[in-house]
Chain A
Amino acid sequence: MTEKRLKTGPDFIWRDMEVGNIVTEAGSAALRRTGDWRSQRPIIDKERCNKCGLCWLYCPDVAIKLLEDGYYETDLFYCKGCGICAKVCTREAITMIEEEEE
């Protein structure tokens, strides 16, 4: 997967496509950033987290990653900010904060 093929919007023209419009790599959607859809951002409070993993299990966008030490972190490259993780967390360790312009 080259950078060239990841172009989107008006930069992406028909010459960037493979011959026959084939897709040559499995799971290549992982290169797409869906994090820019987000209007809210989840913040995980490690103090309250008991490593139950429910946020990981219920995330529709696979945006919660398991860390080496057993805690979880949000992957803001993919997180669309739905807030399901904050709802299912039984320890209220995840809060949603407004995403602000940088």
Chain B
Amino acid sequence: MDGKFIKFGKNLVTTDEFVAEGHSFCVGCGEALALRLACKALGKDVIIANATGCIEICTSPLPVTSWRVPWIHTLFENTGAEISGIEAGLKILMKKGKMPERDIKCVAVAGDGGTSDIGMQALSGAFERKHDFLYLCFDNEAYMNTGIQRSSATPYGASTTTAPAGKLSIGQTTWKKNMAEIAVAHDIPYVATACPSYPFDLINKVKKGGEVKGPAYVHIFSPCPTGWRYPTDLAIEIGRLAVETGIFPLYEVENGRYKLNIDRPKLRPVEEYLKPQGRFRHLLDGEIAKIQEHVNEEYAKLKAKVACFAA
């Protein structure tokens, strides 16, 4: 904790590490990188409530912990409720003068299962009550720490252990749940999607989400070499391809106003993203065309929303 910065063009990144090295994330984990960058953006005045998931088990293997900031483990289903309680508690303690007035960020950290499947109800409630907190969803598109079971964030066509591809099945048969849009529907001040392949974009969004008064939601795409079955050195490329093919567009929604952060004049074909990954290896041309069509449709919808507010 020496408070030094490294300069990348106009961006400054602190050398402080709030998640200690020596954690047990898999080799080449995109989520570990996303978490490291997000914690750099948040700084040390933060309280983190962490749902069960890859991040929780990999950063707190007894008898050690990776965390250098206040951290609490919650269950899958109550991250939203827990962070609401922390925020309300801090507010009343400061109001009664039992602790000095300070700007402490309340941050909930969960995986895609803890957000879009199990923790959805508590999260929706916390959004609705307009607590001042930031929710970070690290989306690796399945329950990775228990052995790659499908979640509602698993994309169409992906093979997982509970939705295996075979003669009669193509793997996951439903489309990925659009969690960021669900957060937008709660009419909260800040929603964004981010990817560790674009580190400064991610840092800026997490910083912004932490500073906003009221609930904020950042959906972070986290490539997973183990579950997605690609070589360990490809995490950054896979993230970039997801953004450039339009499968995971990077946008932010401030008070209902959409803004596209990375906008390519022409999207790359989805095949480039699907090909390096073993979980999509079984897909035939017909299925790939279907995915391409869906991506084009969703991207056009997003562009229309962005165009609405451009004028």
Decide: B25 and A60 in contact? CB cutoff 8 A.
Answer: yes
Task: Indicate whether B6 reaches chain A with its CB closer than 8 angstroms.
Answer: yes
* Majority DSSP secondary structure for residues of A touching B: loop
List of A residues within 8 angstroms of B62 by Cβ: 17, 21, 23
Q: How far is the CA of A78 from the CA of B36 in the complex (A)?
A: 15
Task: Indicate whether B32 reaches chain A with its CB closer than 8 angstroms.
Answer: yes
Task: Indicate whether B29 reaches chain A with its CB closer than 8 angstroms.
Answer: yes
Stretch of B141-149, B159-167, B229-237, B284-292 with 4 or more beta carbons under 8 angstroms from chain A: B229-237
* Majority DSSP secondary structure for residues of B touching A: loop
- Point out which of A21, A83, A96 has the most chain B C-beta atoms below 10 A from its C-beta: A83
Task: Indicate whether B13 reaches chain A with its CB closer than 8 angstroms.
Answer: yes
* Chain B nearest CB, measured from A77 CB (Å): 8
List of A residues within 8 angstroms of B199 by Cβ: 57-58
* Chain A nearest CB, measured from B271 CB (Å): 21
Among B17, B27, B33, B65, point to the contact of A28 (Cβ < 8 A).
Answer: B65
Task: Indicate whether A82 reaches chain B with its CB closer than 8 angstroms.
Answer: yes
List of B residues within 8 angstroms of A82 by Cβ: 27-29, 225, 232-233, 235
List of A residues within 8 angstroms of B27 by Cβ: 37, 80-82
Among B30, B32, B225, point to the contact of A61 (Cβ < 8 A).
Answer: B32
Q: 1/0 contact trace for B212-244 toward A, CB 8 Å?
A: 000000000000010000011111110000000
Task: Indicate whether B265 reaches chain A with its CB closer than 8 angstroms.
Answer: no
Mark out the residues of chain B between 63 and 81 whose CB falls within 8 Å of any chain A CB in the assembled complex.
63-69
Among A27, A63, A84, point to the contact of B66 (Cβ < 8 A).
Answer: A27
Decide: A29 and B33 in contact? CB cutoff 8 A.
Answer: no
* Chain A nearest CB, measured from B254 CB (Å): 26
Task: Indicate whether A16 reaches chain B with its CB closer than 8 angstroms.
Answer: yes
Decide: B236 and A84 in contact? CB cutoff 8 A.
Answer: yes
List of B residues within 8 angstroms of A60 by Cβ: 25, 28-30, 32-33, 36, 235
List of B residues within 8 angstroms of A63 by Cβ: 21
* Chain B nearest CB, measured from A86 CB (Å): 7
Mark out the residues of chain B between 35 and 57 whose CB falls within 8 Å of any chain A CB in the assembled complex.
36
Q: How far is the CA of A18 from the CA of B64 in the complex (A)?
A: 11
* Chain B nearest CB, measured from A87 CB (Å): 5
Task: Indicate whether A34 reaches chain B with its CB closer than 8 angstroms.
Answer: yes
Known: A5-B63, A21-B62, A62-B36. A86 touches B233 (CB 8 A): yes
Q: Looking across the interface, which residue of chain B has its beta carbon closest to that of A32?
A: B22
Q: How far is the CA of A5 from the CA of B24 in the complex (A)?
A: 18
List of A residues within 8 angstroms of B65 by Cβ: 23, 25-29
Question: Can you pick out 17 interface pairs between chain A and chain B where the beta carbons lie within 8 Å of each other?
Answer: A26-B65, A26-B67, A26-B69, A29-B20, A30-B20, A30-B22, A34-B24, A61-B21, A61-B23, A61-B25, A61-B32, A62-B17, A82-B27, A82-B232, A83-B28, A83-B232, A88-B236
| Other contacts beyond A18-B63, A32-B64, A96-B233: 19, CB < 8 A | A16-B63, A23-B63, A23-B64, A26-B68, A27-B65, A29-B23, A29-B64, A29-B65, A29-B66, A30-B66, A32-B22, A32-B24, A34-B23, A61-B23, A61-B32, A80-B28, A82-B225, A83-B232, A87-B237
Residues of A within 8 A of B (CB): 5, 16-18, 21, 23, 25-34, 37, 52-53, 56-63, 66, 75, 78, 80-84, 86-88, 96
| A-B pairs with lowest CB-CB distance, top 6 | A83-B233, A82-B28, A27-B20, A60-B32, A32-B22, A62-B21
Residues of B within 8 A of A (CB): 6, 8, 13, 15, 17, 20-25, 27-30, 32-33, 36, 59-69, 196, 199, 225, 231-237
